[in-house]
């Protein structure tokens, strides 16, 4: 165990980030606790109620219900599971824009529901008309994305909520990544803006809590009943989570981060991250790359495969969209200095624009 985790100096691909110091400290303190066993670990169980309440503040939900999940995948899967249990149909369907996270594909496989993936529009947002056409009486859930993984785009959430209502389906918003930056934008994305039933918001992404800390919020606490399983030996009556033993570190660091950063610290971080994304987008454009405008702190640019591979070789942790574009996620650990170093490497690998042919002589 002499292995050292790499530093975050060259990590531009992660949806997660370095936990805030206060979040790290709380995680370490609660490392050996298990909110999945509240009869044994009552303190962390109490902290989880506080975490959910504070996540509700972020997502426009008074009297919030939900829990701190292992991450966005679990939260999304559980939202699909709630919808499946509520549906009358033997094999209901879920309607999702193609910008939805792959965890919904996993959920559909695990839960044996049909996933109807519909196209996005020219700006990578859900195509409302396509969603409307795909939704029918067997639709159990409509998914909207508030901060997509590939391009950081926000779907028209209120309108999608109306589509869901029209077919008597539940409406889920995946704000796993976007949830801690969207409050500082003009987007309509949460329970206060639309008819949202369930929402994913991950403290361990832009929330600067320690992994594993995902968040599932539900508009009505009876929705959690769909997930409840009896727990014979735990001195509690039932368990709504997908996992059993859970991380007290994630729960405690969520509370610590929210206590420290909501709302001022997150607002300041959003400003820094967004400014970084816009700066990087501008510089890449100046180098001649096609750039997808960063409406949230995430930049996508059409960099060739050899350039991409060379940047990976140089130690940069970067990844690609499904269409092959370079993605840079401007999480809190991504500083301007890092981006400057990265851009210098990109510039070096960029084929020189052909110099205008000299006409003298």
Which x/- pattern over 210-229 shows residues binding a copy of itself (rule: CB under 8 A)?
xxx-x--------------x
Least distance between a copy of itself and beta carbon 209 (Å): 11
Considering the rule CB under 8 A, would residue 150 count as an interface residue with a copy of itself? yes
Least distance between a copy of itself and beta carbon 155 (Å): 18
Between 324 and 351, CB nearer to a copy of itself: 324
Q: Using the rule CB under 8 A, give the single segment among 28-36, 126-134, 183-191, 270-278 that binds a copy of itself.
A: 28-36
Ranges within 278-317 binding a copy of itself (CB under 8 A) = 317
Ranges within 32-61 binding a copy of itself (CB under 8 A) = 32-34, 36-37, 39-44, 46-47
Nearest to 270 by CA among 178, 134, 163: 178
Structural tokens at position 326:
């370079």
Orientation angle between helical segments 336-349 and 305-313, nearest 10 degrees:
130
Q: Kindly tell me which residue out of 53, 231, 304, 350 binds a copy of itself, with binding defined by CB under 8 A.
A: 231
Q: By three-state DSSP, how is residue 39 classified?
A: coil
CB 120 within 8 Å of CB 149: no
Considering the rule CB under 8 A, would residue 247 count as an interface residue with a copy of itself? yes
Between 15 and 95, CB nearer to a copy of itself: 15
CB 266 within 8 Å of CB 309: no
Considering the rule CB under 8 A, would residue 275 count as an interface residue with a copy of itself? no
Q: Using the rule CB under 8 A, give the single segment among 14-22, 127-135, 262-270, 349-357 that binds a copy of itself.
A: 14-22
Considering the rule CB under 8 A, would residue 174 count as an interface residue with a copy of itself? no
Structural tokens at position 217:
């919020």
Ranges within 311-340 binding a copy of itself (CB under 8 A) = 317, 319-322, 327
Q: Using the rule CB under 8 A, give the single segment among 18-26, 166-174, 265-273, 343-351 that binds a copy of itself.
A: 18-26
Least distance between a copy of itself and beta carbon 4 (Å): 7
The beta strands (E) that lie in 204-349 are given as 214-218, 229-230, 238-239, 291-292, 298-301, 319-320, 326-329
Q: Kindly tell me which residue out of 124, 153, 172, 246 binds a copy of itself, with binding defined by CB under 8 A.
A: 246
CB 200 within 8 Å of CB 216: yes
Ranges within 179-208 binding a copy of itself (CB under 8 A) = 202, 204
Buried b (16+ CB within 10 A) or exposed e, 252-274: bbbbbbbebbbeebbeebbebbb
Polymer length of the chain: 361
Between 282 and 315, CB nearer to a copy of itself: 315
Considering the rule CB under 8 A, would residue 81 count as an interface residue with a copy of itself? yes
Nearest to 216 by CA among 76, 107, 87: 76
Angle (CA) 278 338 269, round 5°: 55
Least distance between a copy of itself and beta carbon 356 (Å): 38
How many CB atoms neighbour CB 119 within 10 A?
Answer: 13
Q: Give the DSSP H or E segment for 258.
A: helix 248-261
């Amino acid at each position: 165990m002499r292995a050292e985790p790499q530093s975050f100096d060259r990590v531009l691909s992660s949806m997660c980030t370095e936990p805030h110091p206060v979040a790290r400290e709380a995680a370490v303190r609660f490392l050996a606790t298990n909110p999945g066993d509240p009869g044994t670990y009552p303190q962390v169980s109490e902290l989880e109620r506080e975490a959910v309440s504070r996540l509700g503040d972020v997502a426009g939900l008074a009297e919030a219900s939900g829990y701190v999940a292992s991450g966005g995948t679990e939260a999304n899967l559980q939202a699909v599971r709630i919808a499946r249990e509520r549906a009358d149909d033997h094999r209901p369907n879920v309607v999702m824009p193609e910008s939805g996270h792959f965890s919904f594909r996993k959920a559909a496989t695990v839960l044996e529901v049909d996933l109807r993936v519909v196209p996005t529009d020219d700006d990578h947002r859900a195509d409302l008309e396509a969603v409307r056409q795909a939704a029918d009486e067997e639709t159990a859930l409509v998914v909207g994305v508030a901060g997509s993984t590939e391009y950081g785009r926000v779907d028209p959430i209120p309108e999608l909520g109306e589509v869901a209502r029209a077919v008597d389906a539940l409406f889920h918003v995946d704000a796993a990544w976007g949830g801690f930056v969207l409050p500082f934008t003009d987007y309509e994305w949460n329970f206060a803006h639309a008819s949202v039933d369930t929402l994913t918001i991950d403290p361990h992404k832009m929330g600067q809590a320690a992994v594993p800390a995902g968040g599932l919020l539900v508009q009505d606490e009876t929705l959690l009943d769909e997930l409840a399983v009896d727990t014979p030996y735990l001195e509690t009556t039932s368990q709504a989570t997908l996992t059993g033993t859970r991380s007290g570190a994630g729960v405690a660091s969520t509370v610590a981060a929210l206590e420290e950063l909501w709302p001022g610290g997150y607002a300041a971080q959003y400003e820094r991250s967004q400014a970084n994304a816009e700066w990087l987008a501008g510089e890449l454009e100046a180098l001649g790359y096609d750039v997808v405008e960063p409406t949230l702190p995430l930049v996508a640019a059409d960099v060739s495969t050899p350039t991409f591979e060379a940047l990976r070789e140089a130690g940069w942790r970067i990844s690609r969209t499904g269409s092959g574009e370079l993605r840079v996620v401007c999480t809190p650990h991504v500083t301007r200095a890092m981006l400057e170093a990265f851009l210098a490497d990109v510039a070096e690998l960029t084929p020189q624009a052909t110099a205008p042919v000299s006409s003298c002589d």
